[in-house]
Amino acid sequence: MAIEDGDLENAVLILTPSGRDASLAARVLEQAGIATAICADGDTLVARMARAGAAICATDALSPAVVTKIIAVLARQPPWSDFPFLIFTERAATTRETERTLDAFSGLGNVTALERPLHPLTMISAARAALRARARQYAARSAIEQREREVRQRDQFLAMLGHELRNPLGALQNAAQLAQRSARVTPRLEHPLAVIDRQLHHLTRLVDDLLDVARVTSGKIALQRAPLDFGALCFGLVEESRGTSRERGLSLAYEEPEVPVYVDGDRVRLEQIVNNLLTNALKYTPLGGRVAVSVAACADRGEAEAVLRVADTGIGIAADTLHTIFEPFTQSEQALDRAQGGMGLGLSVVRTLVELHGGSVVAASAGPGRGTTFTVRLPRAAITALAPDDLTPISRREVHPRVILIVEDGPDNRETLQELLEALGHTVHVAVDGVEGVDVALSVRPEVALVDIGLPRLDGFEVARRVRATLGRQIFLVALTGYGQPEDRTRAAVAGFDAHLTKPMDLDALERMLETLAPDARAETGAPARISRR
């Protein structure tokens, strides 16, 4: 049956210079049960192509202008699409004429030439073959759209899961830090508190890895690059791991580079790479084993590279597993009997982050029980000197007392964070929902406000907008939330937040942030504190 603008996905478009020829071709196809749509001109064909199954065109109906328009449409078709054309050509007297005809329409891509005079069965079979091929393309489109819906749903679920997990983790970490900083901690409590702190960091890392897989697969990881000393970064992480290595009865060695090795990278993500590899090595190396970490400058492949190697004498990796070890949710079978936990996500995240930095990572092992070596190669940066990092412990820094507002509906998070900040010498006010948060902020005029996003009555974004509209830049607004996706940070910035901290909060990060604020001048002048953003 002939259709105009209905369901074109199973229809053949027909374009000929003569309406009679088009009607004749349509009649033959319709008698065979093939839907058709006759196009009055080339513009009509171009307008319908994206929704149609195939097109039959006569060469004399395809002027250069029409062909140019069709090629432009085809250039914009999605990857799953390869629109099929059946071209009626006149019988060529020579092979050269045939080649010229085909060359004229080569830009159309998926072209089948049908030479006149044409038997109806040939046209019918060619049209059916084209429609079958197009149907497979539409099926691929549907599968891709379904996959994209599933990915969106997964990302939404993971974002909500991350938020729901981070809230209790935040309260637990606040309480642990408060207990660790208490003068009443006895030697008997030091060990269990250290265990709690270590396991909280482990749980936080698992949540981060889980959410990073979602960000990786959807391409939502953006690097915040800066020149840094890669050797110094690795040395610091190795030193932080010495306590873990001693607890597990392992030898941990670090070989520093002969010269400073600089890279242009995201410090947080590079630390994540090194930590994941180091954690794996310590986890899967048995008592009495050895883990060796080295950083070197290398140019043996014709490029200046920073090379990190993490080698262990642990359980090793079977040869048939090496090629899949960086895939998500993949673990070596030898790890299962050790009950070490984990979700098989760390190495997948490592590979993606290394590749985002323009580098590569490979694993090598002589087999089960014979250890593993991971080698990371990153492009070196041509830097000769960097400003040293401020690694002064928070407890030794000068802390300026601040007036801080906490807007948080979760009582455990709110109360433990209030106690923790007050223990550090700050004056703290609290609000339990968004409306109260705005009221307290406008009456107290704090220097800093830590605002949860998922608040009742008024969400954190609206709190920030209203407070910023009245107080302007006189207040430093921090989004303290379980939502840590890049789009959440963007929304926070648009709403007026100065900074974004993800639960569980890193107290050192907050303290460093507070150090960037100018000392409170209100005691002397009565004016709001000046905010200095260095």
* Confidence (pLDDT) at 13: 94
- CA atoms of 430 and 425, how far apart (whole Å): 16
- Tell how strand 476-481 and strand 448-451 pair up: parallel
Name residue, tokens 């709690």: 196
Query: What pLDDT shows up at residue 123?
Result: 93
Query: What rounded mean pLDDT belongs to the chain?
Result: 81
Q: What percent of the chain has pLDDT over 90?
A: 37
Q: Specify the 3-state DSSP secondary structure of 186.
A: coil
Is residue 379 predicted with pLDDT exceeding 70?
yes
pLDDT band at 212 (very low <50, low <70, confident <90, very high): low
Rounded CA-CA distance 462/341 in Å is 41
Q: Select the CATH number that applies to the domain covering 226-379 from these four: 3.40.190.10, 3.30.565.10, 3.40.50.880, 3.20.20.70.
A: 3.30.565.10
- Residue 178 has a pLDDT of 74
Fold match between domain 11-118 and domain 159-220+398-534: yes
Q: How confident is the model at residue 221 (pLDDT cuts 50, 70, 90)?
A: low
Pairing type for strands 290-298 and 305-312 reads antiparallel
Instruction: Give the pLDDT band of residue 395 (cuts 50, 70, 90).
Output: very low
Phi-psi region of 358 (alpha: psi -120 to 50; beta: other; left: phi over 0): left
The mean-pLDDT minimum among 62-66, 105-109, 136-140, 155-159 falls in 155-159
Q: What pLDDT band is residue 403 in, cutting at 50, 70 and 90?
A: very high
pLDDT at 349: 81
Please give the Cα distance from 258 to 252 (Å, whole number): 19
**Element of type H or E holding 73:** helix 64-75
Q: Is the pLDDT of residue 420 over 90?
A: no
Residue 386 has pLDDT above 80, yes or no: no
* 3-class DSSP assignment, residue 60: helix
Split at pLDDT 50, 70, 90, the class of 11 is very high
- pLDDT score, position 196: 75
pLDDT > 70? residue 519: no
Of 69, 25, 61, which Cα lies nearest the Cα of 40? 61
Position with higher pLDDT, 530 vs 247:
247
How does residue 220 score in pLDDT terms, banded at 50, 70 and 90? Answer: low
d(CA 305, CA 263): 9
- What pLDDT does residue 343 have? 45
By mean pLDDT, which of 127-131, 177-181, 438-442 is the weakest? 177-181
Residues 401-422: what's their mean pLDDT?
Answer: 89
Segment 60-107, tens digit of pLDDT = 888 889 988 999 999 899 999 999 999 988 776 566 766 776 677 778
Whole-structure pTM value = 0.51
pLDDT level of residue 146 (50, 70, 90 thresholds): very high
CA angle (311 as vertex; 308, 314 as ends), nearest 5: 155
What the block records as the tokens of 467 is 């407070």
pLDDT for the residue numbered 177: 76
Tens of pLDDT, residue by residue over 472-500, are 989 999 998 876 666 778 888 899 999 88
Look at 166-170, 312-316, 389-393, 432-436 and tell me which has the smallest mean pLDDT. Answer: 389-393
Q: With CA atoms as reference, report the closest residue to 433 among 402, 411, 417.
A: 411
Burial 214-233 (b: 16+ CB within 10 A, else e): bbbeeeeeeeeeeebbbbbb
For residue 5, name the pLDDT band (cuts at 50, 70, 90): low
Structure-block tokens of residue 336:
């299962």
Q: Residue 57: enclosing H or E segment and its boundaries?
A: strand 54-58
The DSSP call for residue 465 is H
Look-up of token digits 């948060």: 437
CA end-to-end span of the chain:
72
pLDDT in tens, 236-260: 889 888 888 988 899 999 998 988 8
Output the pLDDT for position 289.
93
Contact 481, 159 (CB under 8 A): no
Between 148-152, 347-351, 359-363, 390-394, the lowest mean confidence (pLDDT) is in 390-394
Whether the pLDDT of residue 35 is over 70: the answer is yes
Residue closest to 467 by CA, chosen among 515, 516, 505, 434:
434
- With cut-offs at 50, 70 and 90, classify the pLDDT of residue 392: very low
Superfamily of domain 159-220+398-534: Response regulator (3.40.50.2300)
Q: What is the pLDDT of residue 518?
A: 62
DSSP letter at 61 equals: G
Distance in angstroms (rounded) separating the CA atoms of residues 106 and 388: 61
Q: How confident is the model at residue 344 (pLDDT cuts 50, 70, 90)?
A: low
What residue ranges do the domains of the chain occupy? 11-118, 159-220+398-534, 226-379
Task: Specify the length of the chain in residues.
Answer: 534
CB 13 within 8 A of CB 37: yes
Sheet holding 35-38, edge to edge: 35-38, 11-15, 54-58, 84-89, 110-115
Q: How far apart are CA 111 and CA 99, in angstroms?
A: 13
DSSP 392: -
Bigger pLDDT: 89 vs 344: 89
Least confident of 31-45, 81-95, 392-406, 416-430: 392-406
Pull the structure tokens for residue 419.
Answer: 């106690």
Asked whether the beta carbons of 234 and 265 are under 8 A apart, the reply is no
88 vs 524, more confident: 88
Those residues whose C-beta lies under 8 Å from the C-beta of residue 125, and which sit 6 or more positions away, are none
State which fold the 11-118 domain adopts.
Rossmann fold (3.40.50)
More confident residue, 214 or 119: 119
Q: Give the contacts of 413 (CB within 8 A, at least 6 positions apart).
A: 167, 170, 171, 174, 452, 503
Selection from 125, 107, 19 nearest residue 66 by Cα: 107
DSSP string, 242-304: HHHHHHTT-EEEEE--SS--EEEE-HHHHHHHHHHHHHHHHHTS-TT-EEEEEEEEE-TTSS-
56-65, 129-138, 146-155, 187-196: least confidently modelled range: 187-196
Pairing of strands 110-115, 84-89: parallel
Place of tokens 């087999």: 367
Residue 394: predicted pLDDT: 41
Locate all alpha helices (DSSP H) within 445-506, ordered by sequence.
Answer: 460-471, 486-495
